[in-house]
Amino acid sequence: METEARLTKLASCAGCGAKVGAGTLSKLLQDFKTRTDPRLVVGFDKSDDASVYVVNDETALIQTVDFFPPIVDDPYLFGQIAATNAISDIYAMGGEPRLALNVLCVTETMEEEWIREILHGGYDKAYEAGVIISGGHTIHGSEPLYGLAVTGFARPDKIRKNDAAEPGDMLILTKPLGVGILTTAAKAGMMTDDAVMKRIYQQMTMLNGEACRIMQKYRVHSCTDVTGFGLMGHSCEMAQGSGCTLHIQTGRIPFHPEAQEMADMGLVPAGAYRNRDFAEKAVSLRGNISRAMQDILYDPQTSGGLLIAVDERDGEALLRELQDHIPDAAGIGYVTEREEKELMIEA
């Protein structure tokens, strides 16, 4: 829909680029007194995509919440992207999303039609995912925010955590990088190619459900979705949690070529610098890797793809099946025993 004013102008940052840095979160949560329960197999201490509580031998409950400021000016599209992004955390854990609650903050100047369209976009994307939005909470604030608290389910033996990669695993990424850079450029009026932005919007509203369903057929050891912490931040968490080193081959990484051009011009979101501050100490560069490519690796993604660590015996078969349904999926590296650094980035 057309809007005379720009929704993104009501927010100081956009999408997952607004996410607080991973290093900051670790410090904020340090030394909190919390209850323990052996059935809580994934909690906030694991730096994973969602919490997991085992109900019984057949059922694990998965819970997550995700919301952010507008990343686009179209309210309906913003609602779709925010819902897709929130639901993705359930898929990253290997689950099926089932229930959700709206999380919405509106400003005094927002038109009622904008608010309705944001919610409409969220409801439509939830319906596509098979999710029931059963309620929610709305407040007034200085900036618009929207997202979902999502509940999903899985068999306990099908849970895929971000800290279980094993030496020999093949690394697969299911969506191209560069979304944060390109949406930053669009907000600055520097990316005016409608075809490029349409491609970006289609990617951000593509559910990771098909990728999740396909990966569950194979010996996948670990999985996470690549969102606000960028490929480097989420890879760093996987490497540290698994006690391994991830080798990432830049020549095989799918990315939007226009993002490299924008990065060369310095149009990089602030979140990329926060991600670099968090992960750079764990990174070793091998070969000539341009600053623009490094920016893409640290770029915060909104509604990004899955990063999958799969047993090397299943890697090629999984990749072929993924590419039959998700052509941009690519093998981007491999896992070894822990080396000097957690992340080896190879030209």
- Catalytic residue numbers read 16
d(CA 246, CA 264): 26
Closest C-alpha to 87, from 45, 134, 139, 49: 49
Rounded Cα–Cα distance for residues 142 and 194 (Å) = 30
Reference 181, options 250, 262, 291; nearest CA is: 262
Q: How many CB atoms lie within 10 A of CB 228?
A: 25
Residue type, 192: T
| Structure-block tokens of residue 28 | 């904020």
What is the spatial distance between Cα 186 and Cα 196, in angstroms, rounded to a whole number? 10
Query: How is residue 101 written in tokens?
Result: 């609650």
Burial pattern 155-169, b for ≥16 Cβ within 10 A else e, equals ebeebbbbbbbbebb
Give dist(CA 126, CA 3) in Å, integer: 24
255 DSSP β-pair partners:
177
Distances (CA, A) of 171 to 121, 152, 237: 32, 25, 14
Joined tokens for residue 17: 């680029």
